[in-house]
Structure 1
Amino acid sequence: MQALGFCAGLVVIRNLTQADYAAYSLAVSLLAAMTLLADSGVSSAALRIAGENVESPAHLRETEVSALETRKTLVRVCAAVFLPLVFALQLRLGQDIWSAIAIAAVVQVAFVSTLRANLVAALLRVQYEFAAIQRTNSVLSVLRLVWVLPLFLWPLGMVWALFANLLSAWAQQRRMQTAFERRTPQVRLSPSRVSETQVRLKEAVRRTLPVNLGITLQSQAIYPLLATLGAVTALAEISAIARFAVVSQLGTSIVLGVLDSVIARSSSKTARLRVARIVGFAAILLMGVAAALVIARDPLLRLLGEEYSDLDIPFAIIMVGSALNATTAIFGGLNAARMWIGYGKVYLVALTLWATTAILFVPIGTTVGAACVVASSFLPRLCLEIIRFSRGDGVGSM
């Protein structure tokens, strides 16, 4: 499944110009930022709450309805802020006005579909419906690859490539929703319990939103910043190299896709030890994979095409950084599964120190400089997750 996604990415890289691939990567980056901010811990909190009574269809349905209602305002705000930004930055990168409008429209539809799919996937995971999730993701990987293959034959452009993201997001939402409804029949819901769940979810959002805003800036701000600076080459090269980070991302998705539900349903006595063991093992494994990728960098870079073949140093920096970022994401996901959240002020201090250092001392407009920023972006969140884990408290903790 991940191999198919990687192949689809290579097709896009090799058949778009650097300018078009930079525009494509920017749109995908802003879509990811919108999704992260609009969710702001709702899916993780819903997973934790659903795990309290996973055998009750009414409880699961009430959790779903509460989560959808809780993040309505966030969805509207994110759309109002990000869609004009998508449009303006696409123009800055040289896209014509109609292409910029089409890109913004694709991003909006994919945004709504991805959010809904992520919530339903969390509710399926807490029921241990991993087979349904895997089947859906496998079908979507094939669908996306088939969609982008015509780029080999015709110069269809980056809007065609970006439409694959919309198609995948929409199909994922529909298939996940069908699986959830088949597993969880419609029942009469209790308005009082829905309201109580919304209160818990809103408290989770209140404590998570500042941190998610920081995480979004930490992980995604480099792409619009490069676009604003007009550093098209650096944006395209960093985005192309980051395709190989799919290995680390695969590790993150496997661990969280399987084990966050286990942590959510663990007792207070066993949860902390399990989190420590999982994170430690993941760190060792992911760093080993990063080392192997760096050793094999020459043939891997040739896969991207001649324009990207001399990027040895940025490649090594980003591969190590992606392993550390993935480990930190696993740490954060497991903490969130226990609703060990909060401490946003500590995170914002760490984020400010990191960002100030990057701005003052790193040549961000170059490929190596941008790679250093991307690779080190895990540091503020790692500080946060260590504090959350050590304290072990949060909304609804056991």
Structure 2
Amino acid sequence: MNNLLNKFGEKAPMLAKWGKLLTITGGAQVAIQGIGFVSGILILRFLSVEEYAYYTLLNSMLGTMTNLADGGISTGVMSESGKCWRDREKLGRVLATGMKLRKQFAIASLLVSLPILYYLLQDKGLPWWQSLLMILSVGPAFWAALSGSLLSVVPKLHQDIDDLLKINVSINVVRLLVTIPAILIFPLSGVAILGSGVGQVFGNFKLRKLSAEKADWDSPSDPEARKAILNTVKRILPGTLYYCISGQIVVWLVAIFSTTESLAQIGALSRLVMVLTLVKMVANMLILPRYARLPDVKRLVVPRFYQVMLILVTICSSIVLFAGFFPNVCLWILGKNYADLEYELVLMITSGCLSMLSGMAYHLTSSRGIIPNPYAIIASTIAIQVITLAFIVDFTTLAGVISFSIISSAGNLIYRLIHFIYYTEFKKDWSATIDN
């Protein structure tokens, strides 16, 4: 068998290399997502429907706060780091600059997000002191998430896949070992959120140690890198601000216009969509950094984009078909409180797939500096959403809100694909590149 594999590697080295990478990465990601999935399902089963509704709201706002604190910084850091990833000192300056900007953006994020979270919790009838305790429980997870994405830039660029995967596995193991015993003793949403923050804090220490080998974190911030990162932020931030609202609007619509039970149901169905995170993380670790490092050559940049998107569409189609043919298998995982959501399940999986495809299209194009006019894409998406809410769906029902999400994600994906085609075929001057 070893001789056969060696012969295959000699005749098709690229296939053998990618096969090995996908096997190692895929296997580790299955472990990572498997642990995360089990942890999420146990939280779902151990918390009451009411507490899980609060957990859904807190988790949703945590995502919003993290996105606001990023504002396009991680994209700018990845883009700038890709230009100097072999130079430890220069790479350190770029990362230090990004970290400083991230902390500044975090303060603004808190000032915007926390009052909204407090209002939504109060709207559900919680006493003020309980709302404040829940808000405080989000803090550790938020601060940990701020550093995690930037700390992982270095091992991604240097393709230290094995070490990065080990760290990600350890994050999920710590999260599971801390969270489950804690909620067995205190079955509260805030305790579950705190547990996730502990795992990320542990992972950040490991990531910083790993990245220190390739980047000098003691380097001062770089004014030129700051300017370049902020230029990226200026193009991405308007879209980020909008998507902080749009990305969580499903949860917020349910939280405002529907019942606590519906809020728990949307959170429970979201757990099943976590299977897509496996696909997304593999793509982020293996495909996105390599795509960012491609020479600025049309015959490389354009076909690779379509190849990646085609593979993702095939995977997503298979997942939707499975959910449609075997809904009972999926819903059994969630427990008896959520057993009658067959139709909503298929809608939710479809929504998650379209959202992932749109997100990957965004990350692939932005890593090449192909960023559409944020105001145009926001205006078009808002127009679609207003028409959808006014004339197409009933946003007071769970199925209606998820259908709204499907239409929004589909419109966003179509816009990004059209912009990529327009930019690469008509706008960009490829004649200035090394090889056309």
Q: Does 1:301 align with 2:326?
A: no
Residue 289 in structure 1 maps to residue 280 in structure 2: no
DSSP-derived class of the 1:356 partner: helix
Aligned match for 2:58, one of 27, 51, 56:
27
- 1:265 maps to a residue whose letter is R
Measure, in 1, the Cα distance between the counterparts of 2:211 and 2:404.
40
**More moved, 270-279 vs 95-104:** 95-104
Which residue of structure 2 aligns with residue 323 of structure 1? 353
Closer, same or farther in 2 for the Cα pair 1:181/1:207, shift >3 Å? same
Deviation at 1:296, TM superposition (A): 2.1
Q: Give the aligned partner of residue 202 of structure 1.
A: 230
For 1:219, which of 247, 261, 264 is the aligned residue? 247
The answer to whether the 8 A contact 2:93-2:217 is kept is: no
Match for residue 292 of structure 2? 264
Q: How does 1:55-74 map to 2 (within 5 A)?
A: 55-74=86-105
Q: Which of 182, 206, 213 is matched with 1:175 structurally?
A: 206
Q: Deviations over 1:293-350 (max 9, x none)?
A: 3322102212212110000000011112211211221111111211211411221122
1:187 positional shift: 6.5
Secondary structure, in 3 states, of the residue corresponding to 2:287? helix
Cα contact 1:92–1:230 (8 A) shared by 2:
no
> 1:237 and 2:265 equivalent?
yes
Secondary structure at the residue paired with 1:114? Answer: helix
Q: Note if contact 2:76-2:229 (Cα within 8 Å) is conserved in structure 1.
A: yes
SS of alignment partner, residue 184 of structure 1: coil
**Distance in 2 separating the partners of 1:100 and 1:8:** 24
Aligned residue for 1:266, secondary structure, equals: coil
- In the aligned structure 2, how far is the partner of 1:170 from the partner of 1:61? 21
Residue identity matched to 1:263? Y
Q: Which moved more, 1:371-380 or 1:215-224?
A: 371-380
Equivalent pairs: percent with the same residue? Answer: 20
The alpha carbon displacement at 1:173 in A equals 2.1
Change (3 A) 1:380 1:168: farther
Instruction: Structure 2: state its 5+ residue gaps.
Output: 1-31
Residues 277, 97 of structure 1: alpha-carbon distance in 2 compared, 3 angstrom cutoff: same
Query: Which AA in structure 2 matches 1:294?
Result: G
Confirm or deny: 8 A CA contact 2:45 2:335 kept in the other structure: yes
| Equivalent residue for 2:343, pick from 300, 313, 318 | 313
User: 1:352 and 1:324 mapped to 2: Cα distance?
Assistant: 17
Report the alpha carbon displacement of residue 54 of structure 1 after superposing the two structures with TM: 1.2
1:238·1:367 contact (CA, 8 Å) conserved in 2?
yes
Q: Work out the CA distance in 2 between the residues paired with 1:33 and 1:386.
A: 25
Q: Which amino acid aligns with 2:290?
A: V
Q: Please give the alpha-carbon distance, in whole angstroms, between the structure 1 residues aligned to 2:181 and 2:219.
A: 48
1:186/1:160 CA distance change after superposition, 3 Å: closer
- How many residues align structurally? 393
Conserved in 1, the CA contact under 8 Å of 2:92 and 2:219?
no
Further displaced range: 339-348 or 17-26 = 339-348
Note the C-alpha offset of 1:185. 4.2
1:6 aligns to 2:34 (yes or no): no
Residue 274 of structure 1 deviates from its aligned partner by 0.8
* Residue 3 of structure 1: how far off its partner (Å): 0.8
Q: CA deviation at 1:107?
A: 1.7
Distance (whole Å) between structure 2 residues aligned to residue 310 and residue 188 of structure 1: 56
AA paired with 2:191?
W
2:169 — aligned with what? 138
- TM superposition shift of 1:139: 0.8
> Residues 40 and 384 (structure 1 numbering): CA distance in 2 closer, same or farther, change over 3 Å?
farther
* Helix, strand or coil at the partner of 2:420: helix
Provide the residue aligned with 1:255 in structure 2: 283
Q: Distance in 2 between matches of 1:140 and 1:63?
A: 26
State how far apart, in whole Å, the 1-side matches of 2:127 and 2:208 are.
36
Superimposed CA distance per residue, residues 125-182 of structure 1 (whole angstroms, 9 cap, x where no aligned partner): 1121222221111011112222232367445321211111221232222221121113
- Classify the secondary structure of the residue corresponding to 1:182: coil
1:167–1:311 Cα change, 3 Å: same
Amino acid at match of 1:244: L
Picking from 381, 387, 393, the partner of 1:357 is 387
Q: What is the TM-score normalised by the length of structure 1?
A: 0.93
Q: How does 1:104-123 map to 2 (within 5 A)?
A: 104-123=135-154
CA distance in 2, matches of 1:58, 1:109: 30
Higher CA-based Rg: 2
Distance 1:117 1:208 in 2: 20
Partner SS state of residue 53, structure 1: coil
The 3 A distance-change label for structure 1 pair 147 and 322 is same
Quote the Cα distance in structure 2 between the aligned partners of 1:327 and 1:299: 25
Provide the C-alpha distance between the structure 2 equivalents of 1:346 and 1:29, rounded to a whole number of angstroms: 26
Distance in 2 (alpha carbons) for counterparts of 1:290 and 1:223: 21
Pick closer, same or farther for the CA change 1:324–1:177 going to 2, 3 Å.
same
- More divergent stretch after superposition (247-256 vs 367-376): 367-376
Which consecutive aligned stretches of 4+ in structure 1 deviate over 6 angstroms post-superposition? Answer: none
Give yes or no for the alignment of 1:42 onto 2:73: yes
Say if 1:114 and 1:169, in contact at 8 Å, map to a contact too. Answer: yes
| CA displacement, residues 252-280 of structure 1 (integer Å, 9 cap, x when unaligned) | 11112211110111012212211111111
TM-aligned CA distance change 1:383 to 1:367, over 3 Å: same
CA change 1:300–1:186 in 2 (3 A) is closer
Query: Which one-letter code corresponds to 1:104 in the other structure?
Result: I
Kept in 2: contact 1:298–1:309 (CA 8 A): yes
| Inter-CA distance 218–195: structure 2 relative to 1 (3 Å threshold) | same
Measure the CA separation in 2 of the matches of 1:332 and 1:139.
29
Any stretches of 5+ residues in structure 1 without a counterpart? none
